[in-house]
Amino acid sequence: MTADSAPLYEHPDRNLALELVRATEAAAIRAQPFIGKGDKNAADGAAVDAMRKFLGTVDFDGVIVIGEGEKDEAPMLFNGEHVGTGRGPACDIAVDPIDGTSLTAAGRQNAISMLAASDRGTMLDASSVFYMNKIVTDADGIGVIDIDRPIGDNIRALAKAKGKDVGDIRVAVLDRPRHQQLIEDIRAAGAGTRLMLDGDVAGGINAARYGTRIDMCVGTGGSPEGVATACAIKALGGFIQTRLAPKDDDERQKGIDAGLDMDKLYEADDLVSGDNTFFVATGVTDGGLVAGVKRLGPIIRTESIVLRSHSGTIRRIEADHLVEKWL
Binding residues are 44, 68, 96, 99-101, 131, 176-178, 198-200, 222, 225
Quote the CA–CA distance of 138 and 173 in Å, as a whole number. Answer: 16
End-to-end CA distance of the chain: give it in Å, rounded. Answer: 47
Binding residues for substrate are 99-101, 131, 176-178, 198-200, 222
Q: What are the backbone dihedrals phi and psi of residue 220, each rounded to the nearest 5 degrees, phi first?
A: -100, 125
Residue by residue, DSSP assigns 61-125 as: EEEEEESSS-TTT-SSS-TT-EES-S-S-EEEEEEEEEE-HHHHHHT-S--EEEEEEEETT-B--
| pLDDT digit string (tens) for the chain, length 327 residues | 344 444 444 555 657 888 899 999 999 999 999 999 999 999 999 999 999 999 999 999 999 998 876 644 555 788 888 999 998 899 999 999 999 999 999 999 999 999 999 999 999 999 899 999 999 999 999 999 999 999 999 999 999 999 999 999 999 999 999 999 999 999 999 999 999 988 789 999 999 998 899 999 999 999 989 999 999 999 999 999 999 999 999 999 999 999 999 999 999 999 999 888 999 999 999 998 999 999 999 999 999 999 999 888 899 999 999 999 887
Binding residues for Mn(2+) are 44, 68, 96, 99, 225
Quote the CA–CA distance of 314 and 307 in Å, as a whole number. Answer: 5
Strands (E), 223-289: 239-244, 266-267, 278-283
**171-192, pLDDT tens digit by residue?**
999 999 999 999 999 999 999 9
24, 32 Cβ separation under 8 angstroms: no
Quote the CA–CA distance of 95 and 21 in Å, as a whole number. Answer: 12
pTM more than 0.85: yes
